[in-house]
């Protein structure tokens, strides 16, 4: 029975997208356009340059394209399916999360797992196509590929916790739209989605090192392209694991506090 509940929770958002072919087609077109434009942009920027900020042209293009593909791990539309925490809190249906046999913390985690596995299928397919087309480089060695995979896993775990904190704010603010917009911009900027962090001023790089955002994407992709050498991988993985533990403890505390604010009847 527990396995059945877990499977049903994990497939909620992916089924919402798969049952709407137009949304799948739109996602495919958007991803294709993004990859083409990003690859063209970085090739154009390096047309008259050699190595900049420690990255060559092929490294920069690989980094940028992988950043686009990684975005598919977190772009599923929960809002259309009326399954965001904000919607549930606003309409009062969040109470059903606490009346089910599956605890809300576990339901949220399983649903996120299903979304990320579905997004991973998109990302791996896009990666295979880009590798075949010569858009992205292969990792330098099997060791680099292994470290990258582990770092990417830790990075997604950190990102999951960050997004969970923002969702948990709804239990106190009812709506988190503004916070979510600010977070997404900060996440994209400080994690290296828009550009590798080494292109920013030193003060900006120093500031980002004290925040969890760069652990979500910049670290894994920098390991992949060789901007962070394998000799430094252990320290970077330890930092990522540290953020996982800190955020896990914090979100666990918030779940306990949030449960006290949910009332099954009345206001």
Tell me the pLDDT of the chain (267 aa) as tens digits.
455 556 677 777 777 777 777 878 888 898 899 999 999 988 888 877 777 767 788 888 999 999 999 887 766 556 665 677 877 877 778 888 887 778 888 888 888 888 888 888 889 999 999 999 999 999 989 999 999 999 999 999 999 999 888 888 888 876 667 777 887 788 888 888 888 888 888 888 888 889 999 999 999 999 999 889 999 999 999 999 999 999 999 999 998 888 777 765 544
Domain-wise residue ranges, the chain: 2-259
Which sign, positive or negative, has the C-alpha torsion 210, 219, 214, 152? negative
Q: In the beta sheet, which residues pair with residue 55?
A: 52
Task: Sort 174 into a burial class: Cβ within 10 Å, 0-12 / 13-18 / 19+.
Answer: exposed
- What is d(CA 205, CA 188) in angstroms, rounded to the nearest whole number? 14
In sequence order, what are the residues at sequence separation of 6 or more whose Cβ sits closer than 8 angstroms to the Cβ of residue 187? 159, 162, 193, 213, 216
Structure tokens at 27: 């996602």
CA atoms within 13 A on the CB side of 205: 11
DSSP 8-state symbol, 138: P
- The structure's pTM equals 0.87
- What is d(CA 110, CA 13) in angstroms, rounded to the nearest whole number? 11
- What is d(CA 173, CA 194) in angstroms, rounded to the nearest whole number? 30
């Amino acid at each position: 029975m527990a396995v059945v509940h877990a499977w049903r929770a994990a497939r909620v958002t992916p089924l919402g997208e798969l049952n709407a072919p137009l949304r799948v087609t739109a996602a495919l077109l958007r991803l294709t356009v993004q990859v083409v434009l990003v690859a063209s942009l970085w090739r154009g920027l390096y047309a008259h340059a050699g190595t900049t900020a420690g990255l060559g042209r092929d490294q920069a293009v690989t980094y940028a394209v992988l950043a686009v593909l990684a975005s598919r791990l977190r772009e599923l539309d929960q809002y259309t399916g009326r399954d965001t925490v904000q919607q549930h809190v606003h309409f009062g249906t969040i109470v059903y999360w606490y009346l089910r046999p599956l605890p809300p913390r576990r339901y949220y985690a399983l649903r996120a797992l299903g979304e990320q596995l579905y997004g991973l299928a998109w990302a791996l397919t896009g990666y295979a196509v880009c590798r075949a087309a010569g858009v992205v480089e292969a990792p330098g060695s099997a060791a680099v590929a292994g470290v990258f995979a582990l770092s990417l896993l830790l990075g997604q775990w950190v990102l999951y916790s960050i997004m969970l904190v923002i969702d948990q704010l709804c239990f106190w603010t009812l709506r988190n739209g503004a916070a979510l917009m600010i977070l997404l911009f900060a996440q994209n900027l400080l994690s290296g989605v828009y550009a590798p962090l080494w292109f920013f001023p030193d003060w900006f790089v120093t500031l980002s090192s004290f925040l969890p955002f760069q652990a979500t994407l910049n670290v894994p992709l920098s390991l992949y392209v060789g901007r962070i050498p394998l000799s430094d991988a252990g320290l970077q993985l330890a930092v990522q694991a540290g953020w996982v533990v800190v955020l896990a403890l914090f979100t666990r505390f918030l779940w306990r506090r949030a449960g006290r604010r949910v009332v099954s009847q009345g206001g």
